[in-house]
Structure 1
Amino acid sequence: MAPDATPIPGHKAVETLVAKLRRRQIVGSRQAALETVLVLRQVVSRARFSNIQQLIVIIREAGRRLVEAQPKEHTVGNTVRRVLHNIREEYQSAIKSSAPTSLRNVYTISKFVLQGQPRKQTVGAPKSETTATLKEDDPDDPDSFARGIKPILMEAIQDVLDELETVYDNVSKTAKDHIHSDEIILTIGHSRTVEAFLKSAGHTRNYTVIVAETAPSYSGHDMARALSAAGISTFLVPDSSIYAIMSRVNKIILGAHAILANGGLVAITGSLLAATAARAHSTPVVVCAGQFKLTPLWNLYHDYGALDFADPSSVLGFEEGKLVERVDVVNPYYDYVGPELVDVFITNDGDHPPSSVYRLIKETYDDDDHEL
């Protein structure tokens, strides 16, 4: 096996996460994102670099290894892109802080169009003192640049980590504005974001939730148990009943595995069925997801390896010997739901229509990082 072109600091941590991703020992978008941030924090803390470009190359190489290990877990790549974006912003702020006062914080309309809205941050005295001595490619002390800027970069990574840890609370804080008393809500499968959203609304609203059981995984059973334990009136129905009961439903709330750049989303199987039935009955479709699921990619449905497939034996058991030999059973785990079927995305940064997703991605990631 040929050695890597770029040595990665924290190589052991990266390889450990690569192995876990390949073996599917890490399940769930948020958990994968959290593990990715923790590994990248180790990589940055151990990295030796004399300019910011060297650090970006190191992070991109680590991110590429992680994405290749599990390309179906899109939040891994999203997290790497977000960390790179924050690091570039902190670096630019550090450079500007040592510039003359008249040149600081100059933000023109052209910069807004190209870069989007800047992150709000306060540059305190400690940062100014640290960045005043920054010097890239110093021949006398090559490590001086890394020593000076690492504390700032670690803060940027911590911002991403804090956002992931509080994503459920931040998405749920507007639940009472979207769910009203005596409404009937339909949901599919078991999304922890949707579960937190519905439980938050249950503190102030009295409403009913209908949960589709989501065969053949039957993850809807877990959602129904969780909501019922929280004191929310819950009914579990088979997937075949979705269209029949849609006329009684006031709103559909879905979770998402990934939100694509065109405003569509990849969600658990059955979501397309529910969204299509909702469109026929003019029922609003709401998607709850953290911004870390924003993916700068378009329709992935036909891309090889983009969608996950579950065990076909849950659809057609091997005991059906003669039939199994004559058919190919495909059990997709996710559906692609187009943007025309979605009314609003509720994220930890507010509510957005599908047409605004591309702008959010533009503000969240850098164009250079769309392909790691």
Structure 2
Amino acid sequence: MAELIKDKGTLRNVESLAARLRRRQVSGAHDTAVETVLLLRQVVSTARFSSIEQLLSMLKSVGTRLVAAQPKEIAVGNMVRRVIHQVREEYLANTGGTDPSQRPATMVRSNTIGAMSTPDGSALSIANFVLLGRPRTTARPPREVEADIGDVDRRSMATKPALIAAVQEIVDELETVFEGVAKNAKNHIHADEIVLTIGYSRTVEAFLKAAAHDKKFTVIVAETAPSHTGQQLAAKLSQHGISTFLVPDSAIFAMMSRVTKLILGAHAVLADGGLVAQAGALAAAAAARAHATSVIVCAAQYKFAPLWSWSVEGAGATDYGDPDSVLGYDEGELVGSVEVVNPKYDYVKPEFVDVIVTNYGDHPPSYVYKLVKEMYEDENLE
């Protein structure tokens, strides 16, 4: 990475963010996404490049460093892919749809009109073309080559303000994602309904508050032990004047028969339409399916990842929290004889989800793969 990025301040910031990601000083999909895009904006601002590929190589090297520091934060990789796609599109739009660094070589022509020459100077026949494989190109004068390199460098650098503005558009989008998802709430939650949600999600909070502007309904919040983040959501909804009940996780299945909709947040939405969500989401979604209750997922599009369930389902997908919240260290005899697992996330299959509400509209899970393909470069989907 150091051989590509020469600005020392940028390199320090890359290592600083990588360290904070590794230590979990920055966590959560939205916070990590914002930090990543701001850093990539700085990379574009300080970069000197003679072709778009050089700039994209810088962005990819930074992305590789950040993802390696914290692979569990899927939004980091999403933002790197998104910025690369946005930068490439903006560059091509400002250079007429081509990379000016790619310049075709000049063919050598013989004295025979319209005939290209072979290395020995003879006219290029069909037989010679088959043997040679390709026509010979001439070496261009050094001054002409230097002039073209300088022209490419000037044209590339001239696009930098537009490229910075393109990355800034992503920053602006991230600042309004909660409002973008919440604006669709009135189409999904109706008066006198009973909805259930689990844990705490800023997106779900904004969604429910927006729905309560002109109608009254009841929200049941599962507390989501051992983190008990549901208590935080219940308190905020109650302060907003929404009728809210806090229930233990064990009551989810019993309450589902009275619930009209299950509202879930997401840590990431996968290309197959499944989602990585807070632990307990799978049990709630399974209960909803057993009672034929609609499941609505609130997730902005920056959480859409070009990953499939086989690559994240199971232990490889799960991040783990502090086991002390499950079994305290004061239980000395048990601590030494058992392994305590405190998973932070569940994988919820796409067949458990009815609709995904994003900041750009509502989509069925089966449509997510198309959105992912539109958002990211094909070469960066791995």
Give the aligned partner of residue 275 of structure 2. Answer: 265
Q: Alpha carbons of 1:223 and 1:141: their partners in 2 closer, same or farther (altered >3 Å)?
A: same
d(CA) in 1 for partners of 2:43, 2:98: 27
Letter in 1 for 2:182: S
- Partner of 1:279, secondary structure, is helix
Match of 2:286 among 264, 276, 301: 276
Q: State the shift of 1:146 in Å.
A: 3.4
How much has 1:137 moved relative to structure 2?
8.9
Aligned to 2:95, the other structure's residue is in SS state: helix
Q: 1:277 to 1:271 in 2, by over 3 A?
A: same
8 Å CA contact 1:208–1:233 kept in 2: the answer is: yes
Cross-structure match for 1:126: none
State which drifts further: 80-89 or 135-144.
135-144
Partner residue, 2:349? 338
Q: Is the 8 A contact 2:51 2:153 kept in 1?
A: no
Q: Extract structure 1 runs of 4+ deviating beyond 6 A.
A: none
Tell me the CA shift for residue 13 of structure 1.
1.5
Question: Which residue of 171, 188, 198 corresponds with 1:188?
Answer: 198
Q: Which has the larger radius of gyration?
A: 2
2:20 aligned with 1:6: no
Stretches of structure 1 lacking an aligned partner (at least 5 in a row): 100-134
- Aligned partner of 1:29 in structure 2 is 29
Q: C-alpha distance in 1, partners of 2:28/2:97?
A: 39
Show the 5 A alignment for 1:142-291. 143-291=153-301
Alignment of 1:99-138 (within 5 A): 138=148
Q: Do 1:138 and 1:144's aligned partners in 2 also have CA atoms closer than 8 Å?
A: no
In structure 1, the partner of 2:49 is 49
The alignment covers a number of residue pairs equal to 333
Partner of 1:366: 377
Paired with 2:95 and 2:245, the residues of 1 have a C-alpha distance of 57
Cα distance 1:237–1:97, how it changes in 2: closer, same or farther (>3 A)?
same
User: What is the aligned partner in structure 2 of residue 102 from structure 1?
Assistant: none
Would the aligned equivalents of 1:51 and 1:137 in 2 still touch at CA under 8 Å? no
CA 1:324–1:88: 2 relative to 1, 3 Å? same
Encode CA deviations 1:298-325: one digit per residue, 9 max, x unaligned: 1202363x32100111111122222222
Paired residues of 1:286 and 1:345 also in contact (CA < 8 A)? yes
1:353 match: 364
Q: Please give the root-mean-square deviation of Cα atoms over the aligned residues, in Å.
A: 1.9
Structure 2: stretches of 5+ with no match in the other structure: 100-144
The answer as to whether partners of 1:263 and 1:354 remain within 8 angstroms in 2 is yes
Distance in 1 between residues matched to 2:35 and 2:325, nearest whole Å: 30
Cα distance, 1:162 vs. partner? Answer: 1.1
CA contact (8 A) 2:273 2:349 kept: yes
**Quick one: distance in 2 between partners of 1:202 and 1:22?**
39
